Structure 1
Amino acid sequence: MIFIYLLQLFMLKFGDFIFDSQQQRLLTTQNTQVEIEPKLIALLEFFITHPEQLISRQTLLETVWANTLVTDNAINKLVGNLRKALNDDPKQPKYIQTVPKRGYRFICTISEYKTSPANEESMVNDRQDNEAANFNLYNQLLVIFLGLFLLTAIWLVFKQNDNDKLAYSVALTREQGLEFSPRMHPDQNHLFYLRARNVSDDVELWVKNVHTASVNRLSLPHPISEIIAVTEQDTQSELIYLDKGQGRCHVYKARLNYQQGEGFSVADETMLFNCHDKRVKDIVYHTQKNVIYYTAQPENFWPNHIYAYDLNKNEHVLLNQPAPKGWGFHHLDVSPDGEKLLVMSTGSDHKTQLLSFNLISHQVTAGKQFDRPVYEAIWAHDSEQIFYYSSSPMQKIIRSDFGGDNGRAVVNVSERLSKRLNRIADGHSLLFSTEQDDYNLRLLSGDATRSLHNSAVFDSYPALFHQSDDYLFSSNRSGEMQVYFADSHRGQSKILTQFTSSYALSNMAISPDDKQVLLVIDNDVFAVPLHKLKSQQPLDVLSDEKAIFTSDVPVIAVDWLTNDMVAITAVKNAKPNLHIRNLAGERIDLPQGEWAYGLSDNTQMGKVYLIEQGSHRLHQVKLNITSNNHHIEPTSLTLPHEFYWAKVDNQHLYYMNAEGESEYLHKVSINSEKSLTKMKVNAFSSYDVKQGKVMISDKASRSGDIHRTYH
């Protein structure tokens, strides 16, 4: 990697300074030694051997000060002291740039420092008393040892094949906003990618010449959400892309013109197929076979299936496949030789199994099993090994055998890896993207919006207390997703869990009396006493807690109907099914009918609402647990076909739905069926509501770049 190369250069010049890696000291360009403490030397060495890379605080903790207790304030002070030693102004940095909420970047140009004879003499005067005109015995032995070591190292390097060499990565884009969905043109000179400047901006298609750095934007007749492929045949370039939005899904092929000095432009395009009756999850293309493979949810519900579209025959096929379980077959890749698919299959336990689908023999072979959900894995260039992302908080690309053996990191970056991972057609290099999504919590009350105690990570699943203004939320600010308690008066948050296992937390809800909290983890529902969560020691395991509901299909909604009765919605056979349980996990019979969701109005205890399957009509029900003689009465409200995340508060119905490219939170009066508010949100995650106050988690900002590996 590039930092290994830099470390091999004993003298590195940057700005007005020289770093002597052999003697571990900092000099000015006038050969005056700068006196700084060893911790600052270690910090400086890490910065200058990782130039132009975003370096997070977590990375500094894990590398520069591994196995050492260093606080955030200590990091601030050390970076400040290093800046002081370098005479660096943080407002107009020459060396160390602060990237707000994300970390630091060393921005100064670094070069090898080659000394003149006069400088060489002055820089080594502290060692010249130990030197002689000829080598003494010690130096001769040292030279022999180093010579043998160097010869051995050279032999080992040449002994390795190209696929075993460590790679280093270089950023190909550094624009404001998010760059994603990269594809390299077969000429390996032009990078096609998508760009969104801000959260709410439209997606643009750009092309960059990676050698000249010139860029041009391509205008398409339709919106683009993902680049599927960029191909070239007989000097004719083509772009295959996906247009996916609310109520529409199309795959297009555009013929491209290229003119020297002006770049690419669209000549014409045709629609390959319409996929509006499915929810496409992942899509790939194989050039030689001229076939598109994709995974999708039929009828917009789980599980996902695998489909193929043959461009030569203009024919759709549902591939022969085992019955999908849990999430089904959600992501995939086609091998370079076109003989097999790499499929990610995730069960209701949120654990992913890699499968190989042989497209010739139709044989299915199980590969690596993960203890977490995995959304990105591809075949290596040899069609035998695989690449995949490591588990968080580390951001590594791992290469291993299909079964997971012989795994090793080929790339290690400080920013979060995002899909899409791609092979470059040179036999060994990769294209990948990094992304930083900042999901924040906001409190909405009337026309006022107030941002809460957020971090630059993923803060989500707010759960409001009913007897106070405090709340719970989940966040990955400490690495793994954990539960936090927020004291609204003090403006402080406290971690309540320290799960060591990779639990998938997908929802939370607090009981009306504020004594219990529902945690949906790996599609199991736990009722945990809040006094236990708020005790001195954070909860680290759930083995002692009894799940009141376990499921082998996805759980998509939970709500408290009373202080000891909960409503749980799980999707099975493409339908949301309602289940009611008490805190002992015992089943409560439902009123006659087919029900999808159960809701309650905590401002009016005893008011319970059910949403009917299919029709999505809202009914009010009075539950009689003793006799199972429930009284049910339909309301005049019917929810939209593709609504989600419904709640009831103070006789108002809240729900989410998408319109076009945007998502909206709706508030409707149950009594009058009058729409009261409609608020646009950005990449919605979750929300909760209490007495008209809504706490919502949505995306505040996003940024990211495209990188490639070199060997």
Structure 2
Amino acid sequence: MRVDLSASTPITQPTDHPTASDVGRYLFGDFCFEPARDVLVHRQHGTEHKLEPKVAELLCLLLQHAGQVVEQDRLQQSLWPNLVVEQNSLYQLLTKLRRLLDDSTRQPTYIKTVPKKGYCWIAPVQREHASAPTLPVTPTQPSIPPSSSSGLRDRWQRLTRWHQVAMLSLLLIAMLGLRAVASFQDDEPPIAPVYQVSDVSYALGIEYAVDAHPSQNLLAYVKDIQRLEISDKQGQVLFYQQFANRIATPAWHPTQPQLAFWHYREDSCELRVVSAQGAVSHIATPHPCDEAKKPVWQSDEELVLVLKQQQTRQAYLYRLGTKEWVAIPLPLRADQRLVTAVRGWQGNVYYLVTDAQHNSQLIDLTGTVQLTWPYPVWLIAFDASQGAMITNDNAKHAALLAKRADGSSYSVFTTAQGLFTSVSADATGTLYAGLEAWEVDIRDKDNLPIFSTTSIDYLPVSNPLGETAFMSRRSGVCEVYLHSQNRISQLSHYQGYDYVNFLEWRPDLSMLLSNRDHDLVLYDRHSTLLQFPSQTQRALQNIGWVDNDTLFSFDGQTLRLYNLQGRVVQQHELAADNLYFDGQAQRWLVHQRQAWYQFAHSALAQPWPAIPALTLVVQLTAEQSHHMQNIRIRGNTLYWQSDWSKHDLIWQMPLDYPNHLSLLKSGNLIWHFDVTPHHELTIAQMDAMQGDIKRLQPTTKP
């Protein structure tokens, strides 16, 4: 059986098909789908897979319209009626479904993509009703609309010979005029390249953090978090190595087949250098860090390395021969922060920085500005053939843009099928980009998504009324939402790039508090009430409520208390890693030097010429305290999150028995968590469903 999809008529409105409730099950290929239970059964293996609700809905829609092209807008409207979701939400659902069916996008067995139209179920389907015989469903032959080319030809032939000659003469004069104008514009910028896109890798799994060797037929990338793969530029794997811990950001030497990459070990980052065959030539002494950026080769023996520790990024010059770390003193303003480093024009190293207004600059070691962008740039690579920096765009990071040293820019590539998370260019100008389809779901104790938006939902915080407030990027920016009485309402409406790290209910549950970068924001159940500055330029470590009328913020050096009008009513100096208020015991819990300490809230009523005496609560291990975040108290239990070798850990500690501390959950890519009033754990976890490497080959100019 063959279905011609080249000129199919899409389904834009519902057609008269049996609903999921009318059908007992669908049979197709090796599978059986039971819509009443949202269960997909592999008939040969006998295994059952419980589908997420939205995945099941999508499968139902496709099966009900087997053999017909269903438009993307129709699918989106059916799956998320009256709800704003990410642009690539539908693609992410399709990726999940294809993985379950082991279906290929190149040679599909079940779901075929019809470019610029939609999707079509192409496999034969049998419907089994509860009280009816099996009804075979054969994909129908779509109708082919008539061509309009013959009409254009008839109109041309009806013109007189004189009219035809006149029209051709005018066209020729216009072309000569344009060419004459172009000949006098010697200073016109180079024509932007046009790219042909193809797959380098498209197997199931996550391939990302790609780097192309500038001159040799070599690629390096990370697969599924802990595996380093080296391939040729056609995707043929030449070498791989599995590591016990997470690895990151491989980077080739500009001329030699030497590869540097990071290996996360406990609370440190370990730089490694290997050959194209995997032979280890260097292992650096592990350096304390929370995050490492892509290494940059400055010379054969020197690399520029950017590490993040305690909310601050620092650039170092690392010498392979002596294993020496030299801090690089970049001349940054107080409101600027370092993002990463990149090798650019004439092989020089440049530094990408952003400011408090989210403007980005590319500077050299002296602070001289080379390029600027009016938005946050976090993805950057240098294309030597064009003399241009390739970066993310200014919206949802679904496009690649290029900017030359003279400030001229051009679009490289745009996609709605995921997010670009890495990019690299070789000497020919061919780009290699990591394209990922992922989401962040808030999942319940059974690991099922609560909202099923296929978006980026995180920072959940529930209350005893059964409501959950959370943060989401479904509109493209960080917004606060409230899930109450089976309805989701949006409490904030922003257009900027401000990031939200914290969200807390007021003790009487009448308000919510969040940060927005360095600002603090109050909400009721309808909208934003007040936004005010926290009076710090440092990264906030924590915020929260002292009582119904008092808020607090802590930036690692200063504890500030505010009233509901946003005025600072108290300010105290305290150097610590983190801090949280225990309202029930009226005390402050202080995380410092791998231990929990405490002091009474009443101590803040006294003048503070010095830090009040801290009493030890419990000593912690390095694993329990490294990169501590997401601190919260539920009932009489303290919870927090740490990471060890980039593996996320959630801890619980009874405040009456602090020595009975225990590990509640561990996993990869856990963004946040919450504990409900019923002491059930919900987590916001990144689900990187698919990551492929794309080749963008420059072609002949149009």
TM-score under structure 2 length normalisation: 0.71
Q: Is the 8 A contact 2:538 2:555 kept in 1?
A: yes
- The Cα offsets for residues 169-207 of structure 1, whole Å up to 9 and x where unpaired, read as 3332212121112122355544322211xxxxx522234
AA at the equivalent of 1:453: F
Residue 238, structure 1, aligned to residue 246, structure 2: no
List aligned pairs for 1:382-397, cutoff 5 A: 385-393=388-396, 395-397=398-400
Distance in 1 (alpha carbons) for counterparts of 2:579 and 2:415? 44
Q: 1:382 to 1:289 in 2, by over 3 A?
A: farther
Equivalent residues in 2 for 1:81-230, closer than 5 Å:
92-96=110-114, 136-144=161-169, 164-186=192-214, 188-196=216-224, 202-211=225-234, 213-219=235-241, 225-230=247-252
The CA deviation string for residues 5-41 of structure 1, in whole angstroms up to 9 with x for no partner, is xxxxxxxxx963665xxxxxx7xxxxxxx89999xxx
Residue 555 of structure 2 is aligned with which of 558, 570, 583? 570
Amino acid corresponding to residue 283 of structure 1 in structure 2: K
Question: 697-706 or 320-329: which moved more?
Answer: 320-329
Confirm or deny: 8 A CA contact 1:194 1:205 kept in the other structure. yes
Q: 1:313 to 1:582 in 2, by over 3 A?
A: same
Match status 1:249 vs 2:269? yes
The 10-residue stretch of structure 1 (547-556 or 321-330) with the greater mean CA deviation from structure 2: 321-330
Q: Could you tell me whether the CA contact under 8 Å between 2:381 and 2:423 is conserved in 1? A: yes
Aligned residue among 516, 535, 560 for 2:511: 516
Matched position secondary structure for 1:307: strand
**Tell me, what secondary structure is at the counterpart of 1:294?**
strand
- Equivalent positions of 1:285-684 (< 5 A) are 285-286=296-297, 290-297=301-308, 300-311=309-320, 315-323=324-332, 325=334, 328-339=337-348, 341-347=349-355, 349=356, 351-357=358-364, 362-381=365-384, 385-393=388-396, 395-402=398-405, 405-426=407-428, 428-444=429-445, 451-466=449-464, 468-487=465-484, 489-490=485-486, 492-526=487-521, 528-533=522-527, 545-547=530-532, 549-571=534-556, 577-589=558-570, 594=575, 596-601=577-582, 604=584, 607-614=586-593, 616-619=595-598, 621-623=600-602, 634=615, 636-639=617-620, 640-642=624-626, 643-672=628-657, 673-684=659-670
Pair 1:91–1:594, CA change in 2 (3 A): same
What displacement does 1:129 show? Answer: 5.6
> Given the superposition, is the C-alpha separation of residues 402 and 56 from structure 1 closer, same or farther in structure 2, using an over 3 Å criterion?
farther
- 8 Å CA contact 2:261–2:295 kept in 1: the answer is no
CA distance in 2, matches of 1:625, 1:227: 46
Report the secondary structure of 1:140's partner residue: helix
CA contact (8 A) 2:249 2:294 kept: no
- CA 1:141–1:253 in 2, change beyond 3 Å: closer, same or farther? same
> How far apart in 1 are the matches of 2:252 and 2:604?
61
Cα distance, 1:59–1:344 mapped onto 2, change above 3 Å: farther
Distance 2:153 2:531 in 1: 73
Counterpart of 1:304 in 2: which secondary structure? strand
Who is 1:117 aligned against?
A: none
Give the Cα separation in 1 of the matches to 2:326 and 2:227.
Answer: 31
Alpha-carbon distance change, 325 to 273 in structure 1, aligned in 2, over 3 angstroms: farther
| Greater relative contact order (Cα < 8 A, sep 6+) | 2
- Identify which range, 508-517 or 617-626, moves more after superposition: 617-626
SS at match of 2:593: coil
Residue in 1 that maps onto 2:4: 16
TM-aligned CA deviation for residue 523 of structure 1: 1.5
**In 2, distance between residues paired with 1:615 and 1:455?**
38
Instruction: Report the Cα distance in structure 2 between the residues aligned to 1:172 and 1:152, rounded to whole angstroms.
Output: 43
Extract unaligned runs of 5+ from structure 2: 14-69, 77-81, 91-107, 123-146
Give, as a single letter, the amino acid of the residue that structure 2 aligns with 1:697.
A
Q: Do the aligned partners of 1:418 and 1:434 also contact (CA within 8 Å) in 2?
A: yes
**Which of residues 689, 692, 697 is equivalent to 2:675?**
689
C-alpha offsets along residues 550-582 of structure 1, whole Å, 9 cap, x if unaligned?
3211112112121122231214xxxx5433333
The CA distance in 1 between the partners of 2:543 and 2:570, in whole Å, is 17
The AA in structure 2 aligned to 1:551 is T
Letter in 1 for 2:361: L
Q: Matched residue of 1:175: which SS? A: coil
Cα 1:139–1:289 shift into 2, 3 Å: farther
> Conserved in 2, the CA contact under 8 Å of 1:183 and 1:431?
yes
Q: Quote how far apart the aligned CAs of 1:152 are.
A: 7.8
Structure-2 change in CA distance of 1:56 and 1:273 (3 Å) = farther
- Report Cα offsets for 1:608-651 as digits up to 9, x if no partner: 33215335323152437766799987353234441322222211
Tell me if the contact between 1:378 and 1:422 (Cα under 8 Å) persists in the aligned partners: yes
> SS of 1:435's equivalent?
strand
The answer as to whether partners of 1:379 and 1:386 remain within 8 angstroms in 2 is yes
Whether the aligned pair in 2 keeps the contact of 1:560 and 1:567 (CA below 8 Å) is: yes
Equivalent in the alignment of 1:65: none
The answer on whether the counterparts of 2:336 and 2:354 sit within 8 Å (CA) in structure 1 is: yes
CA contact (8 A) 1:437 1:703 kept: yes
User: Does the 8 Å CA contact 2:559/2:573 hold for their aligned counterparts?
Assistant: no
8 A Cα contact 2:297 2:343, kept in partner: yes
Deviations 1:149-172 (A, max 9, x none): 777889979998766233343332
Match of 2:27 in 1: none
Q: Which residue of 2 aligns with 1:116?
A: none
Is the contact between residue 332 and residue 367 of structure 2 (CA under 8 Å) also seen in structure 1?
A: no
Give 1:677 shift.
4.5
Secondary structure in structure 2 of the residue aligned to 1:506: coil
Please say if residues 224 and 241 of structure 1, whose CA atoms lie closer than 8 Å, have aligned partners that are also in contact. no
Change (3 A) 1:106 1:189: farther
Whether the aligned pair in 2 keeps the contact of 1:568 and 1:597 (CA below 8 Å) is no
Q: Which runs of 5+ in 1 are unaligned?
A: 1-13, 20-25, 27-33, 39-54, 62-68, 77-89, 109-121, 197-201, 257-264, 534-538
Structure 1 position 229, deviation (Å):
2.6
C-alpha separation in 1, matches of 2:154 and 2:574:
95
| Letter matched to residue 209 of structure 2 | S
Contact 1:350 1:504 in 2 (8 A): no
Report the RMSD for the aligned CA atoms in angstroms: 4.3
Maintained 8 Å contact 1:442/1:695: yes
Alpha-carbon contact 1:589-1:628 (below 8 Å) kept: no
CA 1:242 to 1:336, structure 2 compared with 1: closer, same or farther past 3 Å?
farther
1:620 touches 1:635 (CA, 8 Å); kept in 2? Answer: no
- C-alpha change, 1:402 and 1:214, in structure 2 (3 Å) is closer
Matched residue count:
582
The CA deviation string for residues 133-159 of structure 1, in whole angstroms up to 9 with x for no partner, is 997233334444555677788997999
